[in-house]
Structure 1
Amino acid sequence: MPSAVLVAEPETTTREYLGRQLRDDGFDVLGASRRSEALDLAEQARPDLVLLAELDLCLCLRRGEPGRNWDRNVPIVLLAPSSDPVERVRALNRGADDVIARPFAYEELLARIRAVLRRTTVGLGEVLVAGD
């Protein structure tokens, strides 16, 4: 079953480009242009990973909101507006699992998405038996 990726990106061109590329690479893609739409999709669709452009949305997904219910541990990859290391560290400290600066190479972004998914889905469905 393909992994579902929520692309929360206000810029239409970038959102559509990422959607096409990720679909071509075997992902189910959900697109959101607004924060409220992204939160609704995170709650209703339960994506396997969220690719987003806003640190505030990352914080919201991690902390939750009263009356809302989504997986607060969903993997998050942030598309940072710059390559400033201070900003990237801040994003990681605030809940992003990975950060990639704009402009980005799609191949690198894809590799990072796959790596995050690999780390977060290891062991799902496996049974570990200890003892007799």
Structure 2
Amino acid sequence: MCAKILVVDDDQKITTMMRRGLTFEGFDVDAANNGRECLMKVLENSPDLVILDVMMPDMDGLEVCRRLRKDGNIPILMVTGRDSVTDRVEGLETGADDYLIKPFAFEELVARVKALLRRTETAGNPADTLHFADLTLDLAAYSAIRNNRPIELSTTEFNLLKLFMQNPKRVLSRDLIMEKVWGYDFQVESNVLEVYVGYLRHKLELHSEPRLIHTVRGTGYVLRE
């Protein structure tokens, strides 16, 4: 079965272009022209991935992303003409799994979409659980529990935590983590990894639990007690 993709942009020329191109690539594509329509279509059709423009009237893409993330782990690829590091981090902080800057080559859009879908499939297929200290990650149910407390994770947060839990007590370099979780190189100045480690730490330590993800200065991170 082909993956269902929802394209959200207030510019109908862009949604038409993306819809035609992604359909040609074999995806089942629907479109929404504003944030409220997007939220409605997500509820009605349960797409496998959302391509979301940031700059929209009424309800912008950042607010749409926040609302989608509250209700589930659907992969979100945010698309925008705002290209500063601050803008990228803001998009990722709302829960987006990836960030693509306009103008972009259509081939890159397709590659990002396929990478996100692969990450989701890989995370959801194995019927197994990972354990470390008082933390449990259920790979089949796509859920995490620490000290009997459920933890809600976005797609990227889940994949990042999975990598750490598959390599306990092993120092993972920044480059290795970027390759395994994001699947391609971000721009050098991007601090997307630091942002997501911060998200995980906040969620894992919400009730003052001991830190599990530690920084190894000049190298990367390690999961240890």
TM-score in same-fold range (> 0.5): yes
Letter in 2 for 1:10: D
Say whether the 8 Å CA contact 1:52–1:78 is kept in structure 2: yes
SS of equivalent to 2:15: helix
Matches within 5 A, 1:4-83: 4-53=4-53, 54-64=61-71, 72-83=72-83
SS of equivalent to 1:83: coil
Larger radius of gyration between Structure 1 and Structure 2: 2
Percent of aligned positions that are identical = 36
Q: CA deviation at 1:127?
A: 3.7
Unaligned runs of 5+ in 2: 54-60, 130-225
TM-score, length of structure 1 as denominator length: 0.86
> For 2:62 and 2:123, how far apart are their aligned partners in 1?
29
Q: CA deviation at 1:123?
A: 5.0
Partner of 1:103: 103
Partner of 1:88: 88
Letter in 1 for 2:65: C
Cα RMSD of the aligned pairs, angstroms, is: 1.7
Equivalenced residue count is 123
Partner of 2:194: none
Letter in 2 for 1:117: L
> For 2:118 and 2:62, how far apart are their aligned partners in 1?
23
Say whether the 8 Å CA contact 1:100–1:109 is kept in structure 2: yes
TM-score, length of structure 2 as denominator length: 0.52
Say whether the 8 Å CA contact 1:5–1:49 is kept in structure 2: yes
Give 1 or 2: higher strand fraction.
2
The structure showing larger relative contact order (alpha-carbon pairs under 8 Å, at least 6 residues apart) is 1
SS of equivalent to 1:122: helix
Unaligned runs of 5+ in 1: 65-71
